[in-house]
Amino acid sequence: MTQETPIFKPAPALPHWLAHHLPFERRFYRLQHGEDADKRIHFLDHGEGHQPVVLLHGNPTWSFLWRKVITALMADGGSTRYRAVAPDLLGLGLSDRLPSMGSHSIARHAEAITEWMEALELQNPILVCQDWGGPILTAAGRRWVEHGHTIGGLVILNTAVIVPAHPRNTAFHRFARRPLVSDLVFRVLGFPVKRPLSTLHKVQGDPASIRGEVARAYRWPLRGWHDRGIALALARMVPNTPDHPSMAELQATEAWLRGYGGPVSFVWGEKDPILGRALKRHREAFPNAAVTRTQAGHFLQEEVPEEIAAAVRGLPSSFGTCN
């Protein structure tokens, strides 16, 4: 792991009730370049192995989502083979906030994640992504390769890296575009994480997988009015028309992915009401990919961490260059 430097610092202690869920090293990286220079990315860093595994969450979660996957990956000697690094997107978790909801874009997040990966000097990382983590981490992967690096493989969980020709949103995303009322419900009332409007458990195969302290952990970083705006910002980043601002970045990354020659593995929660049906178009784009179907919901890391860890372990031990 990288030693403490002016740009890498230990993260402060968590509340006791939360700390026991995250028995991993946690650090901050201070961005050095671009419009977000001096902002900090919080991340988990666990394992001493030579094979880095980058795990990126989506909306409205944070690196906490990966704790069970990291534990499963490190079992049976995995800590000497793998190094798991899981960042919080800017605006989510313990990472610094962006100045406004309009500041969020795939490109902006991807640039920050790419810089963080390069600062960690990761060698041939495996990229594991879910929800908005999919488009953002694969966009970062495209930049990573353009910068002369290689990728060890992709493990793709319920996300949308293959874009429909005619994007259509769920009721959740249509609601997020309603002026005024969506701002009230998301930013003031705390939808979808704050009680009584919390809905994270409702998109699970097993609703009990996000209850009690686990649900509290997802609420905890989004305590303030400004904090909760990120969930609405990322919901509005989902394209609803072919000319939506996200489409250019999504299409550029999809074109890169279709030319990617390395190993791909899918782990899918088919009880996900948001993206459960999206597996079909992804399989068509990657006919040689390994596929693990599960009865999990949207946040499948909470329900099937062993299957996700197995998909990472199942990638070939000798990886080619992605180009």
Specify whether the CB–CB gap between 70 and 46 falls below 8 A: yes
- Name the H helices within the chain: 16-19, 67-74, 106-119, 133-146, 171-176, 181-183, 212-219, 225-237, 247-258, 279-285, 305-313
Q: pLDDT at position 318, please? A: 42
Q: Which two tokens stand for residue 42?
A: 């919080």
Neighbour tally for 277: CB within 10 Å: 11
Residue 321: per-residue pLDDT: 42
Structural domain 8-165+242-313, CATH architecture: 3-Layer(aba) Sandwich (3.40)
Q: What is the pLDDT along the chain (323 residues), one digit of tens a residue?
A: 556 788 999 999 999 999 999 999 999 999 999 999 999 999 999 999 999 999 999 999 999 999 999 999 999 999 999 999 999 999 999 999 998 888 999 999 999 999 999 999 999 999 999 999 999 999 999 999 999 999 999 999 999 999 887 777 788 888 888 988 988 888 888 899 988 889 999 999 999 999 999 999 999 999 887 788 899 999 999 998 888 999 999 999 999 999 999 999 999 999 999 999 999 999 999 999 999 999 999 999 999 999 999 999 999 854 444 44
pLDDT for the residue 71: 98
pTM recorded for the entire structure = 0.94
User: How far, in whole angstroms, is CA 293 from its chain's centroid?
Assistant: 19
| DSSP code string of 27-52 | EEEE--SSTTTT-EEEEEEE---SEE
Tokens of 23: 């028995």
Q: What are phi and psi of 43, to 5 degrees?
A: -155, 155
**Sequence ranges of the domains in the chain:** 8-165+242-313
Residues shown for the chain: 323
